[in-house]
Structure 1
Amino acid sequence: MMLSFFDQFESPSYLGIPLMALAIALPWLLFPSPTDRWLANPLLATQTWSLNRVTGQLLIAMAPAGHKWAALFASLIVFLLTINMLGLLPYTFTPTTQLSLNMGLAFPLWLATVIVGMVNNPTNALGHLLPEGTPTPLIPVLIIIETISLFIRPLALGVRLTANLTAGHLLMQLIATAGYVLLPLMPTVALLTIIVLFLLTLLEVAVAMIQAYVFVLLLTLYLQENV
């Protein structure tokens, strides 16, 4: 019985064809097409204003050299936010519960920030491996620790996003199952369970938005160290 709770995290397929690509591509069809008119429709105007505000907040403390990444970060946060939110709908699949997808996003982007630092400012990039004022006997140990910390960043990015969304979806299914089972036996307790499920759903909506923002925010911090 417990194994069935994890069926929602399996990559869906139809007639042997994986539907991961469809789940990733579908959110882009829901956004309105840009227009060259001065007065856009309310949905497009709201979308543009929100995207500008979020992107500005992400890049507010970054050097001008990193602002060229604004389009990439804006696209990434819209992508993550949309598939996280759509994954909360019934009979849907959340691609970001798959560690393979999250690592496929985290590792290349993290590696790009490291390469930018090594190419543009190698002294500053390598300087992060050894804090200023470190006693001489601790230099080898700190270099090893900082190197491990550097290479563990993409793993932390991918695991954080996967774990938060997986835990939330699993908890929602457990509470929903408990409410369904208790309804004919203890209606009052079942009603309280449904209320808890509703509140948890609101929390998961917030988590879906926050995790998309945190993923991109950490990438901007990594880039800030290398520009």
Structure 2
Amino acid sequence: MNENLFTPFTTPTILGLPAVILIILFPTLLLPTSKHIISNRLITIQQNLIQLIMKQIMTTHSAKGQAWSLMLMSLIIFITMTNLLGLLPHSFTPTAQLSMNLAMAIPLWAGTVITGLRFKTKSSLAHLLPQGTPTPLIPMLVIVETTSLFIQPVALAVRLTANITAGHLLMHLIGAATLTLSTISLPAASLTLMLLVLFMILEVAVALIQAYVFTLLVSLYLHDNT
């Protein structure tokens, strides 16, 4: 049993050195690959899912936006595999760290904003001031819209961090309750164990959904700037 609730979120070390880089690279080993001309069923399912997700995300984009398709697909695959990695016993979830999520969100958001300022300068600046705004409210609305623009990457990172962290904390609490009740009442421990299994299934869904939501929001920011 962990010492406290936040032990699963501490960075693991190997011989006193942080193991975050190795953990971040580990999900790539979970993706099946094939060197043969004819793929197996698992790789075929993987390719079909990637094509389906790409179609859902990139359909409404222009040619400039579709140039980001490889980056967005790599992003959703990386976040998905990292979230699922954190559900394994005695594992570490990098996406539960706000610093890592900010490191993903800020460059992607900045890239979309710079793209908009480069190719659609007037349209991008026009978003800072809604049409028909009364003259006395113009300075205040410009400040509000500018602030909301800079909050977007923070909202991306905090949303992913909060959902992953909350789920892991609840799983930790339910698991601790199951271990405690196993020495007191087996029927009650069985009920909490069933609840833990159901919550585990829910966490798998949350891991997939949060990866999709993060990528979809980046795609929407890109769509507004291309």
Of 25-34 and 208-217, the range deviating more from structure 2: 25-34
Structure 2 match to 1:50: 49
Structure 2 match to 1:133: 132
Using the alignment, how far apart are the partners of 1:179 and 1:25 within structure 2?
A: 33
Q: Alpha carbons of 1:184 and 1:112: their partners in 2 closer, same or farther (altered >3 Å)?
A: same
What secondary structure sits across from 1:152 in the alignment?
helix
Give runs of aligned pairs for residues 68-79 of structure 1, distance below 5 A.
68-79=67-78
What secondary structure sits across from 1:83 in the alignment?
helix
Structure 1 match to 2:102: 103
What secondary structure sits across from 1:185 in the alignment?
coil
Using the alignment, how far apart are the partners of 1:160 and 1:185 within structure 2?
A: 38
Query: Deviation above 4 Å: which 4+ runs of structure 1?
Result: none
Structure 1 match to 2:33: 33
Query: Could you list the runs of 5+ residues in structure 2 that have no partner in the other structure?
Result: none
Using the alignment, how far apart are the partners of 2:151 and 2:3 within structure 1?
A: 30
Q: Alpha carbons of 1:164 and 1:224: their partners in 2 closer, same or farther (altered >3 Å)?
A: same
Aligned partner letter, 2:206 = V
Which deviations, in whole Å up to 9, do the C-alpha atoms of 1:4-53 show, x marking residues without a partner? Answer: 1111100100111111001100111222335472x311111111110011
Of 175-184 and 129-138, the range deviating more from structure 2: 129-138
Aligned partner letter, 2:152 = R
Aligned partner letter, 1:96 = T
Normalised to the residue count of structure 1, the TM-score between the two structures is: 0.96
Aligned partner letter, 2:184 = L
Question: Are residue 199 (structure 1) and residue 172 (structure 2) matched?
Answer: no
Using the alignment, how far apart are the partners of 1:162 and 1:41 within structure 2?
A: 35
Using the alignment, how far apart are the partners of 2:62 and 2:141 within structure 1?
A: 27
Structure 2 match to 1:94: 93
Give runs of aligned pairs for residues 1-227 of structure 1, distance below 5 A.
4-33=4-33, 35=35, 37=37, 39-227=38-226
Using the alignment, how far apart are the partners of 1:60 and 1:132 within structure 2?
A: 28
Number of aligned pairs?
A: 226
Q: Percent identity?
A: 48
Aligned partner letter, 2:16 = G
Normalised to the residue count of structure 2, the TM-score between the two structures is: 0.96
What secondary structure sits across from 2:4 in the alignment?
helix
Using the alignment, how far apart are the partners of 1:62 and 1:131 within structure 2?
A: 23
Aligned partner letter, 1:14 = I
Deviation of residue 121 (structure 1)? 1.0
Query: Could you list the runs of 5+ residues in structure 1 that have no partner in the other structure?
Result: none
